[in-house]
A and B are shown apart, each in its own frame.
Chain A
Amino acid sequence: MACIAGRSITHAGAWPVAFCPVLLLAFAFLLFTAPPAAADDWDMDWEDPAPAPGYKSGAGSTGGPVGAEPSASTADGSESRPDAATGEDDWDWDWEETDTGPAYKSDTTRRVDPAAASMPKVPRVGETAEPDFSVSPKSGHQLFADVPGFGVIPSIKDKGMHPCSNCHTWAKSNLTPRRLRVPHDNFLLQHGLHGKGEFWCFTCHHLDGAGGLRTLEGERLSFDDAYILCAQCHPGETRDWSFGAHGKRVDNWQGNRRILNCTACHYQHRPNIKPRKAVPPPPVRRGLERNDRKPHVAAPLWEKIGARYREPGQP
């Protein structure tokens, strides 16, 4: 209380009373005679309110919902709302959904763990290309000469994810567009026309074994120039991306502009971004309890009254 009282008095202009040396010495005397408080009681100004029974201080960084009804939680801990259980989402994708997104790291520099880097990376179809921050970015293509300069961060070359060249260095490619069967059955091409797969491999790739990119006019491109390939059909997005309204700039907000390539966020063979689970919702303020999901608060009055006259089991 001493600090705050002192400051408010200073604004009132009552200096002679507040900081009279006699009072000050008396105050210092009181400081010494007072017993020392706990070591962690750093801010002695305010009293901590007693935590309410519903509040768990050990909620951790995830900060799960406080006072969630036990019936709303399933066995595996994932809370499901009634509308989420019954409502059918419009994302009819059949592969597995990742529960966690890219974890936030508050490190100043991006470091590569050497142990993790030496481990063989297990590729998974559908992963986006991982940006390689250790390599200097590749400056933008000359087609983008009129936009503010930028560098595109290269991707880590992951041959295992699309092992086409394992066979197609010697095997002849069947050029006919068709539904892919064994041994291509684990590959899913859902790019173009709302995921119906109107594209074919050789719309964007070479015929030869290197499997590089080619534009519709036949110009060969490196994988780090994939945005030029995307620009053929998505000029608006690419323009926004080059100016910074689409995509993501990393590390700084002025100076050398380093942006992620299209394939860092969009898996090129199915560019829609998969839905996934969100970070858990925030808890309510300390000492309070969420009541927006309690039925006696959330339901309208007529439903609450009607529930008294309803037969059990009736909706």
Chain B
Amino acid sequence: MSRKPSDSHIDHYRRRFLKGLGGAVAAAATPGTARAAWGGNTLADTFADLFQDHYQRMTPEEIADTLARIERKAKRRYGTNITCKNTPPQDGVVYGYALNISKCRGYRECVSACMLENNLSRDMRYIQVLEMDNGSLNFEKADRYYDHRTVPAKGKYYLPIQCMHCDDAPCVKACPVEATWTEPDGIVVVDYDWCIGCRYCMIACPYEARHFNWGKPDLTAGEINPDTHFLGNRPRPTGVVEKCHFCIQRTRENRQPACQEACPTGARIFGNILDPNSEIRYVLENKAVFRLKEDLGTEPKFWYFHDN
């Protein structure tokens, strides 16, 4: 598995020349200062979007320009000032997740917090909490729309599903344009600007963890979380695939993901699986853990365990 930025046959000189040409055209044709010329976007930004390279091939200067452009576009689109970051991965860190299904009670607090934190369209959820009969693990009979008066319901248990961040992710292999890849810290991320929306990755994912923006994300200005990351929760365009990214804007700054912070029962444990003193390592070494669909060989980094 290659985690290096992939080389490309793209002629960088030609691309830079044409990009400069586009900027020159924009500068020559736009009267006065930059203003909304097309689609609520300036022409220079439109051209810069057109020539934006793959995230792993961009130089630091290009990334800085792109982040500034993302902030400008969000300001035009939603009227809010966001901060788009590019926090790099930390050395010696591979994230893992463990979830105690004895403690999960199906409150769906994680689902709601994830939606609020990650600027999801309001008809999209990264986390599906499956309600299943005790003693069974039948996904066909799982109910993700349960709505009881109080939870947990009698005879049921709850199994939240989200992106497992597989170490050998089939979605990454399925992507025809390499718009999704595994970061060095183990997070499977998507470059939303490089995604062509073919949805092959959704078919390849065995966990139903990828979601498609069928329409414009259903967000209003007051609901925007201004703390964003390029590979994470920045505002998404229509027609791209997105997924859980372990709250990359938080975890790369040594904060817990939003689902862990919101969980009222303490069922969720997040940490560095390379650190022998971390909580997740204690769980993996001392608890009876299992992974979903482990036989597929995708090596998910999301474990389930139970008390006793």
Contacts and interface: CB of A to CB of B under 8 A. Distances in A.
Contacts of B26: 28
B25 A48 contact: no
Interface string A20-52: 010011001001101011111111111011010
A314 to B, nearest CB: 28
Interface stretch (B104-112, B163-171, B200-208, B294-302): B104-112
Contacts of B14: 15, 19
Contacts of B255: 108, 251-253
Contacts of A286: 121, 123, 214-215, 218
Contacts of B139: none
B77 A42 contact: yes
B150 to A, nearest CB: 4
B21 interface: yes
A78 B279 contact: no
A275 B36 contact: no
A63 interface: yes
A280 B146 CA distance: 9
A104 B77 contact: no
Nearest to A91: B150
Interface string B7-23: 00111001100100110
Given A41-B40, A104-B116, A253-B255, A4 B196 contact: yes
Interface in B82-138: 93, 100, 105-109, 111-113, 115-117, 121-125, 128
A84 B40 contact: no
Given A42-B40, A106-B113, A285 B214 contact: yes
Contact of A101 (B109, B124, B216, B238): B109
A282 to B, nearest CB: 5
Given A42-B76, A48-B238, A280-B147, A148 B11 contact: no
A63 B120 CA distance: 12
Contacts of B15: 19
Interface stretch (A6-14, A135-143, A197-205): A6-14
A60 interface: yes
B40 A38 contact: yes
A15 B254 contact: no
Interface in B24-70: 25-26, 29, 36-41, 43, 46, 49-50
Contact of A104 (B46, B113, B148, B194): B113
Contacts of B218: 57, 286
Interface string B140-183: 00001111111111100000000000000000000011000000
A84 B153 contact: yes
B248 interface: no
Nearest to A38: B40
A163 interface: no
B interface, over-half SS: loop
A84 B144 contact: no
A231 to B, nearest CB: 16
Nearest to B284: A245
Interface string A55-67: 1010111110100
Nearest to B152: A275
Contacts of A283: 122-123
A250 B10 CA distance: 46
8 contacts: A4-B196, A8-B196, A31-B46, A32-B29, A42-B237, A46-B239, A80-B149, A265-B266
Q: What are the 5 tightest A-B residue pairs by CB atom distance, in nearest-first order?
A: A244-B279, A279-B108, A43-B237, A104-B113, A248-B266
Interface of A: 2-4, 6-8, 10-11, 13, 15, 19, 21, 24-25, 28, 31-32, 34, 36-46, 48-49, 51, 55, 57, 59-63, 65, 78-81, 83-84, 87-91, 97, 101-102, 104, 106, 108, 148, 240, 243-255, 260, 265, 273, 275-287, 290, 292-293
Interface of B: 9-11, 14-15, 18, 21-22, 25-26, 29, 36-41, 43, 46, 49-50, 73, 76-77, 93, 100, 105-109, 111-113, 115-117, 121-125, 128, 144-154, 176-177, 193-194, 196-197, 214-216, 218, 223, 225, 227, 237-239, 251, 254-256, 258, 260-266, 269-272, 275, 277-280, 282-283, 286-287, 305, 307
